[in-house]
Chains A and B, each alone.
Chain A
Amino acid sequence: MATPVSVLRLPKGPDPNSRGFDPNSPRFVALCRTSISTSAAEADAKELQREQRARSALRERFLRCLLTMTNKKVQFHMHEKVDVEATFGASDIDVLNFQVSDLHTPIGVQKEALIRCQDVISFTFDM
């Protein structure tokens, strides 16, 4: 009688919590370029310092921007050519959601709303 071929294990199935494309996989690391070059192991100390200073400066500017925006009218440019205006309230700690008031949408004004940050491409406001 024929013996079935043995297998080491079954193929791995999808992860229920993520869409995959592991950023730590050798292929991702080799092929994906981020907008600001990552501090790869090969980078020298001077480059790393410069990069870190740049990162800190950008982060500080962004946080100051969020502070300045509070209670001001902000125009959000979002995906699917959506442009809305609202009064900015606050951001959550991970910058996943913006709390806004008086959100002007094509179907009316929403008194209070949460805007999902990943849907926002850019925002502008007058200082």
Chain B
Amino acid sequence: MGIKFFLLVSRQGKVRLAKWFYAVPTKERSKIVRDVSSLVIVRKPKMCNFVEYKGEKIVYRRYASLFFICGIDQDDNELIILEVIHKFVEVLDKYFGNVCELDLIFNFEKAYYVLEELLLAGELQESSKTNVLSAVLAGDAESEVDAQQDTIQKLVGNVKKF
């Protein structure tokens, strides 16, 4: 199996994004998030980016004040996961334009869209950043068209009332 879970945790321990690729009860999810966050946040800069946790491997990378954390099996390749994390960050950066934590707080659904274009069932499904970005932007354009149509329909409805 590929990535089991993908977490985005701030320096203060707040979870900004959590994507699970296997079935796990809510209580256990909370426990995993708590354990993994506290394990990763206190690590020094020079320490290895791979940590063992309950028979699994945790691959993490810090970008500014955010920790991108993935849980994988013992047999999986950690270096590839680091590359996947970096790809995700690059797409976010391109999409938001110099992305910061605030962008992810106020547009968390967009961050999920990007992740869902990139990963499917925990595996990298699209390696091209351009394609991922195009898909997300196409989705944005569609929802904008829908929103505009809704607005026009409401206006027409209001006009008809008069």
State whether these chains interact. Answer: no
Chain A positions near chain B (C-beta within 8 angstroms):
none
